[in-house]
Amino acid sequence: MLTLGFDIGGTFIKAVALRDLAVVGHGEAAVRHESLEALCLQLADLRRELDPTSEAKAAGVAVAGLVDKATGRLTASPHLPSLRNVDAKPRFEAALQIPVSVMNDATAAAFAEVRYGAARGLSHVLLITAGTGVGGGLVLNGEPYEGASGFAGEIGHVPVEPQGDACACGKHGCLETECGAYYLVGRARAALGSGVHSSLEKADPLDAAAIFEAARAGDYFALNLIDRAGSALGRACAMALQILDLERIVIGGGLARSADLLIPRIMGAARARTFGEIFGRASFVAAELGHQAGAIGAAATAMQRAR
């Protein structure tokens, strides 16, 4: 069976074709932001490219943001204005002329890691995508878990620091404000501006990669920043483990490149806050799939649901 998967991000639409469990084609296009019509035309073009004989019977569309699974309505997205507050699912189905599952991109990526990546063969998995922002996706009982509306897994906005910084979501002390790259860099910049001494004073650009590099070289200030981020991730993981009794937590997104520094800190903080029986069976690893994870997971979800 041929199934199609699309991942609509802020910059690119990634597309894949899955035949049974093998990726047999992929495509990419720069997102046209001007209207939903333009976006739908792009999906139709990518379908023609990947499936010229119109063989596919179902497609999955992963979207960056809080997306209602029943309607495809994106309720919050700074990156995809043309999808905000419109019922996109029927429009995608009209464009692709097949049934479409609309889902959050991190949920799709989590399912892809279970099927093809760092959590192959497991059934109870959380993927945390830690980059500029922080998101998450769940697979429970071997199925993508979307919750009642499609909003499950948003671990970036669980409160981990009661007196923490203001978050873009309107709350305070979210996981994202403690470990998201945007906040990490902001915290470094503010401290350096107030006279803290660190090798980061010479970093150009001062970004998350520079902070991890400085930490690796033993810079005390950078190590403190990483300790704080890893501890916050660990506290959030403890909540997820304690509630969901997971087999594995996969760290993805840009910060996964520094998983060797983060994972020991995450595990230290999680171990101290989780029942031994639960922590003991859980493992923590870096994601294996790269930028195609969302599209692959969306296609795999559509395939699972079409069966």
**Binding residues for Zn ion, per CB under 5 A?**
157, 167, 169, 171, 174
CB 142 within 8 A of CB 248: no
Closest CA to 199 of 207, 210, 190, 209: 210
Rounded to 10 deg, the angle between the 208-216 and 181-193 helix axes is 70
To Zn ion, the closest distance from the beta carbon of 167 in angstroms equals: 3
To Zn ion, the closest distance from the beta carbon of 169 in angstroms equals: 3
The full length of the chain comes to: 307
The kind and range of the H/E element at 270 are helix 259-271
* Strands (E) located in the chain: 2-8, 12-19, 22-30, 58-63, 66-67, 74-76, 100-104, 125-130, 134-140, 143-145, 248-252, 283-286
Residue closer to Zn ion, measured from CB, 102 or 174: 174
To Zn ion, the closest distance from the beta carbon of 75 in angstroms equals: 15
Residue closer to Zn ion, measured from CB, 170 or 195: 170
To Zn ion, the closest distance from the beta carbon of 33 in angstroms equals: 24
C-alpha of 261 from chain center: 19
Residue closer to Zn ion, measured from CB, 157 or 235: 157
Cβ atoms within 10 Å of 240's Cβ, excluding its own? 21
Residue closer to Zn ion, measured from CB, 187 or 248: 187
To Zn ion, the closest distance from the beta carbon of 158 in angstroms equals: 9
To Zn ion, the closest distance from the beta carbon of 10 in angstroms equals: 18
CB 91 within 8 A of CB 40: yes
To Zn ion, the closest distance from the beta carbon of 79 in angstroms equals: 16
Residue closer to Zn ion, measured from CB, 174 or 251: 174
Residue closer to Zn ion, measured from CB, 158 or 282: 158
CB 2 within 8 A of CB 16: no
CA angle 20, 24, 29 (to 5 degrees): 125
Residue closer to Zn ion, measured from CB, 160 or 200: 160
Buried b (16+ CB within 10 A) or exposed e, 224-236: ebbebbbbbbbbb
